[in-house]
Amino acid sequence: MRNLSEENLTEAVVQRLARCENPRLKTVMTSLIRLLHAAVREVELTEAEWAAGIEFLTATGQKCDADRQEFILLSDVLGVSMLVDAINHRKSAGATESTVLGPFYVEGAPELPHGSDLAHGGPGEPAEVSGRVLTPSGKPIAGAVLDVWQTAPNGFYSTQDPDQDRFNLRGRFKTGADGAFSFRTIKPTSYPVPTDGPVGAILNAMGRHPMRPAHIHFIVTAPGYERLTTHLFAEGDPYLDSDVVFGVKNSLVVDFKPKPGVRTLAVAYDFGLTPV
């Protein structure tokens, strides 16, 4: 095709997909091309703005490494991660709601016995977290695995902070026959997402704060059930209504209450899994 113009260029690009043998890829790319071209037309993108966008995406890729995924962070702050999550995990009765994975999950955390201290006696307000993993009808699931991680009191995950052990405030727990789990940790704190890269720059340009409300991450898995990726958020956190990644759900907000007789907070929460 020759002499393409702003009126017919989009259809010309879409037609080049005619020989695509993957139907799902063809569907996704057709929609992406049409929407991207429509956005360019709507705002009448300048060449300087186009070049700035290319530089931004290049810098985003360059910021990624084995422990930091700047593209996931970008997806998070634009709300795309939560939209994908909402579409793919429509809540069924008895199932715990999901939320974003985030860019700081690390595979290979050690499996620990119940009651273990994820903070290894480090600084922070001591807390105990316990509960069960259940079917939608409320029956216990034995052998479910909870992969748990959170930030330290300084707001950094272990992979961000050279002064922390790689698996500080990270661990895996397996439920017993009663579906129960328990561990010790510290009350989580609110913290900013990394702002030293392209995502931080775009947040600042949009006039948005970078803060996440205090939370503990969980991935809960069991044979025969869908994988659950979720958080437990701390009641009373000032950023619950303005989470930078749009991840808060009322059903996931818990109250860290003082435990009678000891200087420890306590939270009890049951996770419900959806059968495959």
SS3 readout for 30-63: HHHHHHHHHHHHHHCCCHHHHHHHHHHHHHHHHC
Q: Which CATH number fits domain 73-272: 3.40.50.10380, 3.40.50.720, 3.40.50.1820, 2.60.130.10?
A: 2.60.130.10
Residue 246 has pLDDT above 90, yes or no: yes
Q: 179-225 pLDDT, tens per residue?
A: 999 999 999 999 999 999 999 999 999 999 999 999 999 999 999 99
β-pair partners for 229: 219
Sign, CA torsion 91/96/100/103: negative
CA dist 53 and 41 (Å) reads 15
CA dist 159 and 107 (Å) reads 12
**pTM for the complete prediction?**
0.91
CA dist 4 and 225 (Å) reads 51
Structural domain boundaries in the chain: 9-45, 73-272
The whole-number pLDDT of residue 103 equals 85
The whole-number pLDDT of residue 93 equals 80
**Dihedral, CA of residue 69, residue 75, residue 78 and residue 80, to nearest 10:** -160
SS3 state of residue 230: strand
β-pair partners for 26: none
Q: Whole-number mean pLDDT of the chain?
A: 96
Helix H or strand E encompassing 133: strand 126-134
The whole-number pLDDT of residue 44 equals 98
The whole-number pLDDT of residue 94 equals 87
CA dist 219 and 273 (Å) reads 11
The whole-number pLDDT of residue 31 equals 98
